[in-house]
């Protein structure tokens, strides 16, 4: 396993082997059974191209009221617990006693992308964000802690894990595109991204 540094982001290539990826995919399916994926509407009235759900004490989503964390799924139920195999990745990556309170699950279908943004809805930026990639390759783009300026990009493959911490914790980043059909992990292709965060 190698570690690639991209503007302070640590990309741990091949952190999860194929068996672990398949197990985690099953865990994601269990999350989605309880809290089905949905297409968030931005405050600007445009739907996001990714579908999402969450696990943990909090879930993240967007609607006409803005962006942020809430304790219930749009259908009114609480979020399911974060599965152990996902929590294990957090523990191995961070070596922290503090557990994440949100696992955001983003699904990228063909043509989906994520614009440049900061993960800044949390109360304490001292805790890192850990990101897990499953399925099709996605082109991660990372910039500075202020909007604009030069950026750098790297392709993320299934099983890669990214840690965003330290000075890079508030760097702008996004996913420009995916290589639809580049992985056979998901039967109908697509990319799943899990991000683990301490919220409070």
Domain definitions of the chain by residue range: 3-197
- Write the pLDDT tens digit of every residue in 116-138: 999 999 999 999 999 999 999 99
Confidence of residue 114 (pLDDT cuts 50, 70, 90): very high
Please, are residues 173 and 163 in contact by the beta-carbon 8 Å criterion? no
**C-alpha to C-alpha distance for 158 and 106, rounded to whole angstroms:** 14
- 87: three-class secondary structure by DSSP: helix
- Point out the least confidently predicted range of 94-98, 135-139, 156-160: 94-98
- The model's pTM is 0.95
- 32: tokens are 């989605």
User: Which of 41 and 179 is assigned the larger pLDDT?
Assistant: 179
Q: What tokens does 64 get?
A: 């006409």
What counts of helices (H) and strands (E) characterise the chain? 2, 13
pLDDT given at position 27: 98
38 neighbors 63 (Cβ within 8 angstroms): no
Q: Is pLDDT of 63 > 80?
A: no
Q: Which fold has domain 3-197?
A: Jelly Rolls (2.60.120)
């Amino acid at each position: 396993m190698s570690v690639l540094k991209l503007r302070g982001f640590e990309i741990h290539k091949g952190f999860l082997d194929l068996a672990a990826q398949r197990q985690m995919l099953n865990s994601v399916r269990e999350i989605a059974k309880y809290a089905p994926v949905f297409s968030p509407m931005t405050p600007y009235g445009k739907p996001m191209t990714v579908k999402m759900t969450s696990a943990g004490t909090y879930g993240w989503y967007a609607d006409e009221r803005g962006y942020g964390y809430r304790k219930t799924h749009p259908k009114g139920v609480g979020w399911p617990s974060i599965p152990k195999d996902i929590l294990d990745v957090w523990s191995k990556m961070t070596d922290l006693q503090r557990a994440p309170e949100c696992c955001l699950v983003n699904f990228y279908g063909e043509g989906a992308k994520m614009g440049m943004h900061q993960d800044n809805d949390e109360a304490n930026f001292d805790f890192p964000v850990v990101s897990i990639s499953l399925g099709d390759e996605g082109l991660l783009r990372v910039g500075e802690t202020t909007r604009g300026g030069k950026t750098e990009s790297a392709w993320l493959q299934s099983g890669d894990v990214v840690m965003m911490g330290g000075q890079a914790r508030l760097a702008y980043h996004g996913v420009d595109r995916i290589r639809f059909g580049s992985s056979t992990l998901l039967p109908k292709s697509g990319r799943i991204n899990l991000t683990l965060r301490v919220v409070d």
